Amino acid sequence: MPQKRNPFLLEHILGRTALLTGAFAAAAGATHGAPFTNSIAAGSEATRPLWQACQDATDVAKLLALIVSHAIPDHKRMRNSARSGFTVATEVANLLMCEGPMDFRSAHKLTGELVTDCVERGHTIDSAEATQFLAARGHTLELRGLTSDRVAASANWGGGPGALAVEHCLHQTRSQWATQVNAGRERMRCWKSAQRELERVVADCIAQGQAVGKA
C-alpha cells in the first residue's frame, strides 16, 4: 500500500531480532540429541551462534534505547504527514470491501488507482474529488472526513493504534517487564548463593587436604 513508510532505524531492530530467534533455533537443534552437556555438540557447536546473538541483542537494546530517549514527536508535522501520505489507504480498501460485493484484492487495486489519481491531481484521499473518483466507478463510499485521526481512534482491537488498544498493550508490556525483572533478580540471587556455596566447599576441600598433608 502507498502509505507504508517504515522508520529506518526500527527496520534494523525488527530484522536484527529475527536473527536472535535463528540463533536460538540453531543452538537448540545442535543439542537435541546430546546425551549429556559435556560433549562437543553441546559445548562447542551449540554455543557457536550464541556469541553473535548476544552482540546483536546488545546492539538492538542500545539502538532502541537511543530512539526512545531522544525521539521527540512533532505532532503537527506527523498529523500533516499522515494526511498527505495517504495513511488511510488500507482503511479505504477495507471499506470498499465491506460495501461489497468486492474482494480485498480488487479493493486494494482500486485504492491504488485512487491514490495514484490523487497524487497526479494534487488531492488528498479524503477530498471531494476522491469521493467523485469512486462514484464514477460505481461506489457510493463517502471519503470526506476519513482522516488518520478518525481511523486510528476506531482501531481499538488486535493491537491497533486506538487509545484502548494502546493502553492494553502498555499495561501488558509493563506487567511482562516487571515479571522479567523479578525473575532476573531471583536468578542473580541464586547464582550468587551458588557461588558462595562453591567457594565454601572449595575452601573446605583445600583445608582438609592441607590437614591430611600435615598428618
On whether both 112 and 150 belong to a single domain, the answer is: yes
On whether both 60 and 91 belong to a single domain, the answer is: no
Residue 1 falls inside a structural domain = no
Reported as a pLDDT band with limits 50, 70 and 90, residue 100 is: confident
**Count of CB atoms situated within 10 Å of the CB of 13:** 16
**Domain termination residue (choose one: 30, 46, 71):** 71
**Domain termination residue (choose one: 102, 125, 154):** 154
- 118-172 pLDDT, tens digit per residue, is 989 988 888 899 899 999 988 988 888 888 888 888 888 877 888 888 899 999 9
Phi, psi of 132 (to 5 degrees): -65, -35
DSSP 150-178: HHHHH--STT-SSHHHHHHHHHHHHHHHH
Number of domain units in the chain: 3
pTM: 0.55
Residue 175 falls inside a structural domain = yes
On whether both 148 and 184 belong to a single domain, the answer is: no
On whether both 150 and 173 belong to a single domain, the answer is: no
- 45-64 pLDDT, tens digit per residue, is 888 888 889 999 999 999 88
Residue 140 falls inside a structural domain = yes
Q: Give the range of the structural domain holding residue 115, as residue numbers without chain letter.
A: 79-154
On whether both 133 and 84 belong to a single domain, the answer is: yes
pLDDT of 81 higher than 60: yes
